[in-house]
Structures are given as C-alpha cells and as structure tokens.
Chains A and B, each alone.
Chain A
Amino acid sequence: MTERVSVTIDGAQVSVPKGTSIIEAAKQAGVLIPHYCYHPSLPSPAVCRMCLVEVEKAPKLMPACVTTVTDGQVVHTNSLPAKQAREGVLEFLLANHPLDCPICDQAGECELQDYTFQEGRAAGRHDDYPKRYNPVEDFGPDVLYVPNRCILCTRCVRFMDDVAEDGVLCVSERGDRATIGIFPDRELDHPWAGNVVDLCPVGSLISKDFLHKARAWDLDRTASVCPGCTQGCNITIDTRDNTVVRLRPRANLEVNRHFMCDEGRMHYRWMNRGDRLESPSVLEGDQRRAVGWDTALERLGQMVRGGAGTAVVLASGRASLESLGWLSRLLGRYQVTAAVQVPMGDEAPLAGVPGLALRAERAPNLQGARVLGYDAPWASALAAAGKASLVVLLDVSLTEAEAAGLAGAGNVVVLGTVESGAGARAGLVLPVTTMAEEHGTWMNCDGRVQRYQQAKAPPGMAQPAWWVAAGAMATIDASADTPGSAAEAFAALGAHWPALAGLSYQDLGLSGRIAMPAMAEAAR
C-alpha cells in the first residue's frame, strides 16, 4: 500500500499517493491546470512555465508538473499571481506565434488557442514587430514542421529521445531564434514517429496525410480500437460526413498509453472503400441475383438446417468476438474446422513503453478467435475446405489458387465487405459491416477484451456478421433468443465460452478488461 497524502487544491481536498505531481493531483480534484510541455507519458522538463501555481508557504510560484504534493499542502491555481503568470506566458508565446489559425490544421484542437481564449489578454501588446520567420521543413514521411508556430515545448524531442529512443530531433539555436531541428541526413521515419503530431500542442508538427483535410470542429469522434495488429491500441476514429479522415490514439495507460504506430494510423483508408458489397445475393444457375435479407437469411438457414458432416469457417482476424461466436453457434450441428487469416508483418516495438509494439500478427482479434475455437492452422483449414459440406468465408481475401481449391466444397457462403476471389462460386453472398460500421469487441494479445464503437453508417444493406448468423438461427428455431444489439450478442457469449462469462459492455467500458488474467501475466 503506497503512502497517501492529502492536499487541498482550489478548495477541494484530495488524497493521492505520495510522489504525485500537483498537476496530476489537481486532475483528481477536478482542476485542469493549463500546461504545454507536461505530458503524462513523457518526462517533465518544466520549461513552458504555464503550470505555475501558488503553493502556500512556497517563496515563489511552483511548476505544478514537477512539484510533488506534500501532506497538508494548499494549492491555488487561480489566484491572481498564478493567473497573471499564465497570462504572461501566453503573451510571450504569442510574441512569435503567427495568428494563422484560419489555415492551421490544429485550429479547434489547439492548446494555445484554447488557453488564450480562456484566459489570455484581450489585446496584444506586440504592435508591429515582425515575427520570427523560418520556412516549413519536411521532417519525414508524414510529418511537416512549421517552425513559426512552434512554442518549443519539446514534447516531440522528448518523445523521440525517451520513448521512441531514436533521438533524431533536437532544439537548435538559442533564445528566440530556437527551433526544433532534425539531425542531418536523418528523417522522422521511426515506425511510431507520427505520435509527435498528436503530442504537439499547437500546429507546428502536422501530418501530411491529414493536411487541410478537415477542420477539427467538423469532426465526429468515436472511441474505437486499432484494427492493425494484436496489440489493440485504443484509438479515436475521426469522421466527417460519414468519411473517416484520420485515426488517433486514445489514452489507455494499460495498453498503449497515449500512442499508436504509423501503420495503424493508415488503416483508415480501407474504411472509406467505395467498392463495397451492398446487398445479399444468391447464385441461381450461373446468374447472381440480389435478394432481401429475409430471403437471404432463410436461404442460409436452409443450408445449415439441411447440412451435416464437416464445415469449415475461414474468418478475418478483424472479425469481432460477437461475429465469430454467433457463427460458431450457427454451425453447432457440424464438425467445424475454423481458422482466422493472420497477415504477418515486421514487429516494431516502442522502446520506451514495455509491452507496446506493432505486433507481427496483423490481426486484432487473433487471441479472441483462438479462445472461440478458431484455432486450426490456416493451410489445413483451407485444405479441409475443399472437401467440406459447408464453407463459410467471413471477410477473408483468397488468392485465385486458394479460391480454386474450394471447387470440391458443398455449399459456399460468403459474408464479405468487398468482392473476394471466392464470391463467384458462392451460393450465397452476404454483405457485412467493417469494424468502423458496427459495435463489437476484440481480445488483444494480453487477453484484454476491448470494445470498439460504430463510427459510420454501413453501406447499403450491410449488417454485422453476428446479426446474420443470429438471424439465420432464428429461421431454424423461432423460439431461440435473438440478440437485438451488439451488447446482447456479446453478453450471450459467456454461456458458451467461460473466458467471457460474466462480462458485459457495461463492465468493459471504453478501456476494456482483462478476461484472461493468466495470459496477461504470461505476457509480462
């Protein structure tokens, strides 16, 4: 048990562990102390001097980010000296900061803008001095540096030095000529370098990919989980008019702290694909005919009801626990061989955060799939599919050869998002939603079950795969309980898979919960 101390911040008393900084203690008292250089996932240099607060009995204002609380301490964050100090810092920061907010990507989510609006001076005293000018620099594959907007908080330098441990950035020059520099012949091309854009409190480090794409205030934000790999970094999906414009990390101190990798960020692109399957279709002779869901579910129910023997399910590593679970239940009468497709790539750890990496297995629900019995090797499942009486393909992409191998199968059902190689020979093609278009859960490599939320509307008639499976079950047994929502679909899984017993969307919240503690322990 760590020792606790009691402090009073702006009149509110809080008890926090010894060693807590005033700035973190204040958060618990419901007080946000304005700051720039401080970041909970970086070492604190206390250089911006924005978080100066009045501490009773201290001879001068103290930086809240590096001053630890002591028992009985009384802190005033809004006393006149503290407010004047902040106003002074804001004025100094604006001395050289261009007021180009109308063309700045950061506008609307800029901490300089926010605090200036909140408590800066109503009028500037800078008159007509020319501001410091330096041209925009290209720092790397996705990062531009706009030195004129830089407030020298050095979050980017510290991220690269202390978290990425690839110290390519530095502060160059002194005084008001100082800018962030990059080492000669180096690029900001670390696999996690994109985090400097999020860390930058102003519009100085900006993403080329997002450049001038949208205004922050036009974006809708949805809590989600990165579909890139088994790590399961928590993210926010930013959409504008049903189009995903960027993915950003969402804080989860136990999974990804405040970071996500650059590869993960680029996953937004497929979320906007236009060539989507939009309606169910059946194969009649060699003609494909679009049908409604009633017909489609009826047809799927008939196939399953009449079937027996072996079934093979080939599923995407991005399929949700709900979809995999309900598909398994639908095929309960078969002897099922189930596998998930796991694209492999290079592993890219983030050195300064133990346990955080872009994982080689690029399948966010690989662990969940295993728990639900989708554990056959891909190649053997594929071989078995050629002889199975029923093959279900859930959002997988097959090569031509792999698709040709299905020729010997009985019924082939495709639940897909886009045309796949196997579509042509499938008796039934059913449009399903992507993770951006549904609510769902995945289990990450540490056994943590995490929710993602629906960020955009599905195209056409696409539905979550669990809805399709449950709907088909209902055509077989009208008395079966059919989930009316993803939450219900999830809650029902516990009865069949003990690892998920007792979990609900409510418990998972938006930061997830370890469902398999033993696994989390082993990963440590």
Chain B
Amino acid sequence: MGYPHPTHPKETPVLSKHFGDAGARTFDGWVQRGGYAALRKALGMTPEAIIEEVKGSGLRGRGGAGFPTGLKWSFMPKGDGKPHYLVCNADESEPGTFKDREIMRWTPHQLIEGCAIAAYAIGAERCYIYIRGEFTEPLRVMTAAVAEAYAQGALGADVFGSGKRLDIVIHRGAGAYICGEETAMMNSIEGRRGNPRIKPPFPAQAGLFAMPTTINNVETLASVPHILNRGGAWYKGLCLSNPKSTGTKLISVCGHVQRPGNYEITMGTSMKELLFDMCGGMKPGRTLKAVIPGGSSVPIMTAAETETCLLDYEGVVACGSMLGSAGMIVMDDSTDMVYQIWRLARFYAHESCAQCTQCREGTAWTTKILERILAGKGKQSDLDLLLSLSENMTGKTICVLSDSCAAPIVSGIQKFRPEFDAYLSGARQPALAMA
C-alpha cells in the first residue's frame, strides 16, 4: 500500500501504487506516472466499446454491493436527449472503511480520470463527486486537482481537444452516514433532506434531478483507467478464486492487528494471509476473536470462520458474512463483544434517517436493550426480544440501514452468546452505568 507501511510483497499494488508519493498529486506528476493516457485512449473509443471493455474486466462495484460496473453503465438509456449524470460516491462513512480517503488524498487524478472515462461512457457531461464532510484533507486535495485538471484541459468544454464536455462538481456532505446510500445522496445533492428514495424508479431511469444517473464508488472509478490501459482481460486475470470476483481490492484493516492500514490484494487472497502476513497478526499474547469483514453493516465472523475465508464477494458469503466495502474490523480476545455490538447499534440509531418506522424506532430500542444488558440490568428475555426486534427490522424498509443494525446483533447473539449470558447472570461486571 505504500503508506504508512511499505508495500507488502503479497499485495498487488494497482490503485495504491502511488500512495505516500506526494508527487503523484499534481497533474504533471500524474502524467509522468502514466496518468491520463487511459482518458486519451477512451476518447478515441466509442462509449459502447468502453462499456464492453469494463464488462469484460469483471469489475464490480467496490462500495459494498458488488454490482457489475459495466452492466450498470449499460442500463443508461441511449439517445434519450436528456442530460445524464455521473455521481461519484466519496461519502465513505461505513465504520471501518478508509480506502477511498487514501485514493483521494494521494491520487486525486486517478479518480478524476476514472470519472472522466465513466462520464464519457454513459453520456454524462456532468459529474458530481460527493465527498464526506469530515474528509477535509481529501476535499482540499481533490479541489486543487479538479482545478488543475480544468487548467490542463482534462476537464471543461473540450476535454483534451475531443470536443466532449465534462464538468466535475465537488459536493461536500454534511456528516450524515445515510447520505452514502445512493438515493439519499441524490436527494442531498439536490438540496433535500438525505432520505433514501424508493426504488423503482432506479437511478438509471430517474436519478439525480430525475435524470438518468449512474452512481459509482471512488475505488470502482479509480480502477477504470487501469482497465483501459491494460485491458479488461488483464484485470479479469487478477483472480485467485472465484472468476466472478476479479481485479484488486483495497482492504481497510483496523483494530487489533500489528499493522492496521490499507492493503491492496488480488481478489481471492485468503483472509488469514492478510491478517497474519500482511498485517503482522495480533499483538503479542493476543489471539483473534472476531472479524467484521465488510464495514460495520455485515454479520460478524468468529475466528474459526475466518480460517478458510477467501477475500472475494463469494468467498466471504460462503463463510457467513459479506465482503461489503472491505472495511475490516479485527478484534482480539480482549474485546467485549456485547460492548462492541452496542456501540455499532448506537451508531445506527444515531444515523437512522427516521423515515421508516422499523429503523427509526428499532435502532434506538435495540440500543437501549443492549445498554441495559451492559449496565447489568438485562433480563433473560432480552436476547429473545433483541432477536425478535431484529427480525422485524430486516428486509422491511426502504434502505438497508435497519438491516445493517440488525445483522451484527443477530450474529453477535448467535456467535457470542456466552458473553451476553455473563452480563445477564452478573458473572461479568457492568460495563456501563445507566441513568
């Protein structure tokens, strides 16, 4: 990954090759490192050819859902006479995830180039980059880079003399987690409250300002120039396990490992290799207890489940969780799982947009029950109550925030029940004082 640690031999640095290299931030620096060749090449291709190349690469959405990118682009209507929009989701707010931040901090032109190619492919003349409000440094870097790209003709009315127009507008979020949900993000850009929208209509039919819109994650877009430069077949070849998961993936590892940070792996690398070779394993004297592999919204894995886990979309599902945004939260045996689950639930309760009943009330209620358990005032029936409420919170709302709150609760109770029982029986001292 290059920053703050040197790249590990087992990594495959593509996106992260220039992390830590301040020279890559400027337009000239980026061009010297091979930048903008892909955009120039793309401008000589038809949009259809670009989409075919991306389809052929097997690239899937890196924001969490893993939807095939080329297919998503192909949903955009053709010749409809309406303005099309590209939205770059840079609202990276999933707890445990910090890969997009590094892409923007170190290689802003990598993202701008990806945006420009994608916009051209989907027929958009305007791209919004929605940057998380707390990302002050990435915002500063991106703003400077966009200004430079305009000055150098990579953006504007006539991109590199091709006659194509592309404007990039940087939109700064205001700190709501839910605005990372694509339809809430569109509302936010439009100046409305960041509430997720009902689908259908899907963004490709009626998205931003009710116009056909494609929303892609930072990492997805940043991968596009490499695919054009080196070919879809090359990218597709970056695969160690399931052929449906291709390319490289930035994994943000945080928590109880020796060297937390971003690691760029080839799809299908084993989780064990990542945690114990690249990240240096647990701290001395500690053992692995649990991993939340894909940002806080996915089920918790036990140490045993991580043993055989291969890091790609299918591999993590096979082990009971999801790759998600690949924000990996690693917990060793010193971790109080009940406390961690409460902390996650509290996050969701704070961030629920309040539209759907189950989410608005359920996230807050489950948090209160967990708080009571941690305060030593729980009841035996509380675990069944939590499971029942979680069931009512799953699969019933407009977006998946409610499901995301329920997932760690359910998996936590199923997999770490003795820790809950210890609080309920009084065997463990209360961890929280309750008012």
Interface residue ranges of B282-302 to A (CB < 8 Å): none
Q: A60-B396, A61-B396, A125-B385 are in contact. Are A170 and B193 (CB under 8 A)?
A: yes
Return the contact of A176 from the options B198, B354, B355 (Cβ within 8 A). Answer: B354
Q: Is B358 an interface residue (CB 8 A)?
A: yes
Q: A61-B396, A66-B198, A85-B392 are in contact. Are A175 and B357 (CB under 8 A)?
A: no
Please determine whether B354 and A92 come into contact, CB atoms closer than 8 angstroms.
no
Please name all residues of chain A whose beta carbon is closer than 8 Å to the beta carbon of B303 when the two chains form the complex: none
Return the contact of B354 from the options A84, A95, A129, A174 (Cβ within 8 A). Answer: A174
**Least Cβ–Cβ distance between A256 and chain B, in angstroms:** 28
Residue-by-residue, is A37-73 near B (CB-CB < 8 Å gives 1, otherwise 0)?
Answer: 0000000011111101000000011010010000000
Inter-chain CA distance A249–B357, complex, in Å, is 28
**Least Cβ–Cβ distance between A50 and chain B, in angstroms:** 7
Closest to B435 in A: A130
Q: Is B232 an interface residue (CB 8 A)?
A: no
| B interface size (C-beta, 8 A) | 29
| Most chain A CB neighbours (cut-off 10 Å) among B178, B354, B363 | B354
Please determine whether B396 and A88 come into contact, CB atoms closer than 8 angstroms.
yes
Q: Is B319 an interface residue (CB 8 A)?
A: no
Return the contact of B360 from the options A66, A170, A176 (Cβ within 8 A). Answer: A176
Please determine whether A47 and B350 come into contact, CB atoms closer than 8 angstroms.
no
Return the contact of B397 from the options A49, A66, A91, A177 (Cβ within 8 A). Answer: A49
Q: A95-B365, A176-B364 are in contact. Are A89 and B358 (CB under 8 A)?
A: yes
Q: A47-B355, A48-B357 are in contact. Are A175 and B350 (CB under 8 A)?
A: yes
Interface residue ranges of B330-365 to A (CB < 8 Å): 349-358, 360-365
Please determine whether A49 and B358 come into contact, CB atoms closer than 8 angstroms.
yes
**Least Cβ–Cβ distance between A274 and chain B, in angstroms:** 47
**Least Cβ–Cβ distance between B418 and chain A, in angstroms:** 24
Return the contact of B357 from the options A93, A129, A174 (Cβ within 8 A). Answer: A93
Residue-by-residue, is A134-158 near B (CB-CB < 8 Å gives 1, otherwise 0)?
Answer: 0000000000000000011000000
Please determine whether A49 and B354 come into contact, CB atoms closer than 8 angstroms.
no
Q: A129-B368, A171-B193, A173-B354 are in contact. Are A92 and B397 (CB under 8 A)?
A: no
Closest to B198 in A: A46
Residue-by-residue, is A119-136 near B (CB-CB < 8 Å gives 1, otherwise 0)?
Answer: 000000110010000000
Q: What total of A-B pairs shows CB separation below 8 Å? A: 87
Closest to A97 in B: B361
| A interface size (C-beta, 8 A) | 33
Please determine whether A178 and B354 come into contact, CB atoms closer than 8 angstroms.
yes
Please determine whether A88 and B392 come into contact, CB atoms closer than 8 angstroms.
yes
**Least Cβ–Cβ distance between B152 and chain A, in angstroms:** 41
Please determine whether B353 and A174 come into contact, CB atoms closer than 8 angstroms.
yes
Please name all residues of chain B whose beta carbon is closer than 8 Å to the beta carbon of A176 when the two chains form the complex: 349, 352, 354, 360-361, 363-365
Q: A49-B396, A176-B349, A176-B364 are in contact. Are A171 and B354 (CB under 8 A)?
A: yes
Q: Is B398 an interface residue (CB 8 A)?
A: yes
**Least Cβ–Cβ distance between B112 and chain A, in angstroms:** 32
Q: Is A96 an interface residue (CB 8 A)?
A: yes
**Least Cβ–Cβ distance between A10 and chain B, in angstroms:** 20
**Least Cβ–Cβ distance between B285 and chain A, in angstroms:** 39
Interface residue ranges of A72-131 to B (CB < 8 Å): 84-85, 88-89, 91-93, 95-96, 125-126, 129
Please determine whether B360 and A52 come into contact, CB atoms closer than 8 angstroms.
no
Closest to A92 in B: B361
Please determine whether B362 and A152 come into contact, CB atoms closer than 8 angstroms.
no
Q: Is B127 an interface residue (CB 8 A)?
A: no
Please name all residues of chain A whose beta carbon is closer than 8 Å to the beta carbon of B397 when the two chains form the complex: 49
Inter-chain CA distance A117–B398, complex, in Å, is 27
Interface residue ranges of A210-228 to B (CB < 8 Å): none
**Least Cβ–Cβ distance between A108 and chain B, in angstroms:** 23
Please determine whether B395 and A60 come into contact, CB atoms closer than 8 angstroms.
yes
Q: Is B176 an interface residue (CB 8 A)?
A: yes
Please name all residues of chain A whose beta carbon is closer than 8 Å to the beta carbon of B355 when the two chains form the complex: 45, 47, 152
Inter-chain CA distance A173–B354, complex, in Å, is 8
Return the contact of A92 from the options B178, B353, B358, B391 (Cβ within 8 A). Answer: B358
Please name all residues of chain B whose beta carbon is closer than 8 Å to the beta carbon of A178 when the two chains form the complex: 354, 360
Inter-chain CA distance A85–B357, complex, in Å, is 11
Closest to A52 in B: B396
Please name all residues of chain B whose beta carbon is closer than 8 Å to the beta carbon of A50 when the two chains form the complex: 357
Residue-by-residue, is A365-389 near B (CB-CB < 8 Å gives 1, otherwise 0)?
Answer: 0000000000000000000000000
Please determine whether A175 and B352 come into contact, CB atoms closer than 8 angstroms.
yes
**Least Cβ–Cβ distance between B383 and chain A, in angstroms:** 13
Q: A88-B358, A89-B358 are in contact. Are A46 and B364 (CB under 8 A)?
A: no
Return the contact of B198 from the options A45, A48, A173 (Cβ within 8 A). Answer: A45
Please name all residues of chain B whose beta carbon is closer than 8 Å to the beta carbon of A175 when the two chains form the complex: 349-352, 354, 360, 363-364
Please determine whether A96 and B198 come into contact, CB atoms closer than 8 angstroms.
no
Please determine whether B357 and A47 come into contact, CB atoms closer than 8 angstroms.
yes
Closest to A126 in B: B365
Closest to A157 in B: B193
Inter-chain CA distance A88–B356, complex, in Å, is 12
Q: A46-B198, A61-B395 are in contact. Are A89 and B357 (CB under 8 A)?
A: yes
Inter-chain CA distance A93–B392, complex, in Å, is 12
Please name all residues of chain B whose beta carbon is closer than 8 Å to the beta carbon of A63 when the two chains form the complex: 198
Please name all residues of chain A whose beta carbon is closer than 8 Å to the beta carbon of B362 when the two chains form the complex: 92
Closest to A178 in B: B354
Interface residue ranges of A167-224 to B (CB < 8 Å): 170-171, 173-178
List 21 A-B pairs, Cβ < 8 Å: A46-B198, A49-B356, A49-B357, A60-B396, A61-B396, A85-B396, A88-B358, A88-B396, A89-B357, A89-B358, A91-B392, A92-B357, A92-B360, A92-B362, A96-B361, A129-B365, A152-B354, A174-B176, A174-B178, A175-B349, A175-B351
Contacts A49-B358, A174-B352 aside, 18 further interface pairs with beta carbons under 8 A come to A47-B356, A49-B357, A50-B357, A60-B395, A61-B395, A85-B392, A88-B389, A88-B391, A89-B357, A89-B392, A92-B361, A92-B365, A93-B361, A125-B385, A152-B354, A174-B351, A176-B361, A176-B363
Residues of A at the B interface (CB closer than 8 Å) are 45-50, 52, 60-61, 63, 66, 84-85, 88-89, 91-93, 95-96, 125-126, 129, 151-152, 170-171, 173-178
| Interface pairs A-B: 9 shortest CB-CB | A88-B392, A178-B354, A92-B361, A176-B364, A175-B352, A47-B355, A95-B361, A60-B395, A92-B357
